[in-house]
Structure 1
């Protein structure tokens, strides 16, 4: 009883911490999960390359799948990823989606649940173990479905989905920031600006939405807005999640030039693209 799956990371269009509405887009960097089920009744977890990392989320994802589709099985879940943890690139959502799909595959239950509902299993697991404030349905839906998704995170409702063909530049500083530690009260103070971002995203004006979101959340969370200014006006950029990563979208030539600027900072800068397929079984 073994299953494997992969789910993409994502960047932010609108952070849902301010007003409950969020928007995110899948990028072509992935987390893979392998689930092996047995009769022990207990689930253990492992994150490759991070022996001290918290495995409660991926373990709980397997447990919720077993509770709904299994018969009390236990087992082991292992994830490996080219997405840096705690960097604002939705590594937790990608890991949750991959673990859920891998567990469904191990139980031969992949066809028994819609992808949106499979995504919600991971969102519920994330809330239960406390790795997210909002539930992160925006991040999780982008990772599970691919493309750009706009969501109401208070209702776990998908409001819009598109498939823009963007090249994407990612800058990840060496520092790490866990979304559960974000100053929610300070983010809520910028809700009027987040409402403007939501209106732009709901209309499909994702590039302008990213820019406004980026300036607002850099101010709220104490990150420099310089990378966003440096991308303008040729590209759109934003702080991704609660940081510390930034993402920019635009044409390849523009982003190659921007990469030369961003690479002067400490950290890691890399080019990728949007991803439209979403999470898949392997």
Structure 2
């Protein structure tokens, strides 16, 4: 039995690590998953089933998240199967662009496709969040990121209560600056992040007021200071008149919400700072 799934990456408006509340936007970079299952038996027949994982072009990458996603879906419907899950992605890993959330969502969808079952979108999201918590690739569960990946547009969430506060359609081009270094969420200094919590609350309130650019910029500068990332990347964009720019997730990427007339100048500016630049957009309809 074969199934296929696809999910998008996302960028940060408010990082939820400090206050367990966040906001994020869906971007036009995708992860796909293919799940191949041997003949399945009823869970009551015994036997755990063996799921193996592979991440294309990253043979040494940890596959615990995607194999856990497959297992959770099979458990949900009472199946025991052997199988293989393979993901491939346009989203750079360990850069704060929600590659884990996209991989989880895509894998859950692919497994459902393989067994001929369906779930409501928010249950798909919840299953991926549970898998991420189970294997330790997230601190808060990244419910905000998972919602943005699955629903499109901009989402505002309460991660502690797994509540989608609001989803909005928002049109914007997006530029992403990718430094050479990676930054894994699980390695984040949570204590340093908690120290900025009162100011992150201010950023979250700005997001609730739909002042997304200022929320994103304040959040980004705060987390750069807390986690030791260079603020010059964001400042260079602000100097060019960009109003929404900041660190995405826990880094190492930076994202900027830009107008068409700003793309060329900021691309050139960031291109001169080393690393690489990706042009994409907010995706509202999936």
What TM bracket, shorter-length normalisation? over 0.9
Q: 1:237 aligns with which of 233, 237, 245?
A: 245
8 Å Cα contact 2:31/2:87 also seen in 1:
yes
Please tell me whether the aligned partners of residues 123 and 135 of structure 1 are also in contact (alpha carbons under 8 angstroms).
yes
Matched, 1:16 2:16: yes
> What displacement does 1:266 show?
1.9
Verify: 1:52 aligned to 2:60, yes or no: yes
For 1:95-114, list aligned pairs within 5 A. 95-110=103-118, 113-114=119-120
Q: Distance in 1 between matches of 2:276 and 2:143?
A: 27
Matching residue within 204, 207, 211 for 1:205: 211
In structure 1, what is the equivalent of residue 232 of structure 2? Answer: 226
Q: Residue 20 of structure 1: CA displacement?
A: 0.5
Aligned to 1:4: 4
TM-score scaled to structure 1, two decimals? 0.96
Do 2:242 and 2:256's aligned partners in 1 also have CA atoms closer than 8 Å?
A: no
Cross-structure match for 2:149: 143
Task: Write out the 4+ residue segments of structure 1 that deviate beyond 6 Å after TM superposition.
Answer: none
Contact 1:147 1:275 in 2 (8 A): yes
| Aligned residue among 191, 196, 214 for 1:190 | 196
Q: CA deviation at 1:217?
A: 0.4
1:152 touches 1:159 (CA, 8 Å); kept in 2?
A: yes
Q: Deviations over 1:227-268 (max 9, x none)?
A: 211222333101000001000002122122111100012211
**What is the aligned residue count?**
276
Query: Secondary structure, in 3 states, of the residue corresponding to 2:80?
Result: coil
Among 122, 132, 146, the residue aligned to 2:128 = 122
Matches within 5 A, 1:68-79: 68-79=76-87
Q: Give the aligned partner of residue 262 of structure 1.
A: 270
Unaligned runs of 5+ in 2: 41-48
CA distance in 2, matches of 1:275, 1:34: 23
Summarize the Cα distance change of 1:245–1:62 in structure 2 as closer, same or farther, 3 Å threshold.
same
Query: Is this contact kept in 2: 1:249–1:255, CA < 8 A?
Result: no
Alignment-derived partner of residue 29 in structure 1: 29
Q: Provide TM-score, normalisation by structure 2.
A: 0.94
Q: CA deviation at 1:277?
A: 2.9
Inter-partner Cα distance in structure 2 for 1:260 and 1:275: 24
Give per-residue Cα distances to partners, 1:161-192, cap 9 Å, x unaligned. 11111100001111111001000010000000
Residues 211 and 238, structure 1, Cα contact 8 Å, conserved in 2:
yes
**In 2: Cα distance, 1:136 partner to 1:98 partner:** 15
Work out the CA distance in 1 between the residues paired with 2:260 and 2:154: 19
Deviation, structure 1 residue 142: 0.3
